[in-house]
Amino acid sequence: MPALLDTNVLFASASARDEYNEPALDIVRGIDHGELPEAHVTNYVVAETLNLCREKLGPDPAAGMLDRLIEGAHFEIVHAPRADFNAAQAIFRRYPDLSFVDATIVAYAQRTDTEYLYGFDDDFDAVPDLTRLETAIDPLR
């Protein structure tokens, strides 16, 4: 069963100055090496991550992140359907601490019965049936 990745894990893995850099690197490397579950990254998260990387770190790190996501054998970019966008609207209104991108992650997780999310944003903790993981642990072992 795959896990989802939040933007803050991907960004922190690319930014040596980020307070979560070490645990993010452990998570991304664990996924890369097949030691953690395969990661699904929604198109919303890809867009948010690449824009943030370009804005904060520059074009080369942003392109490097894109390459990692495209070329990594254990990363799968998934395109959230319109149904997720529609469901995210209610989720966004119900959980005021979630960003809209976070609401789309929750909608995707609910639609696909995905239980696990690697992320550092504790706003996800309010969502039932979604388990947030902050470290490079494999919840399936």
pTM of the predicted model as reported, rounded to 2 decimal places: 0.95
Count of domains for the chain: 1
Q: Write out pLDDT tens, residues 39-79.
A: 999 999 999 999 999 999 999 999 999 999 999 999 999 99
Q: 62 is in which domain, residue-wise?
A: 3-118
Q: Is 92 within a domain? A: yes
Domain assignment of residue 18, yes or no: yes
Length of the chain: 141
Is residue 35 situated within a structural domain?
yes
- Where residue 115 falls among pLDDT bands split at 50, 70, 90? very high
- HEC readout, the chain: CCEEECHHHHHHHHCCCCCCHHHHHHHHHHHHCCCCCCEEEEHHHHHHHHHHHHHHHCHHHHHHHHHHHHHCCCEEEECCCHHHHHHHHHHHHHCCCCCHHHHHHHHHHHHHCCCEEECCCHHHHHCCCCEEECCCCCCCC
Would residue 136 count as lying in a domain? no
- Rg of the chain, C-alpha, whole Å: 14
Of 45, 47, 29, nearest to 135 by C-alpha is 29
CATH code for the domain in which residue 34 is found: 3.40.50.1010
Q: For residue 73, what pLDDT is reported?
A: 93
Residue 87 lies in a domain: yes
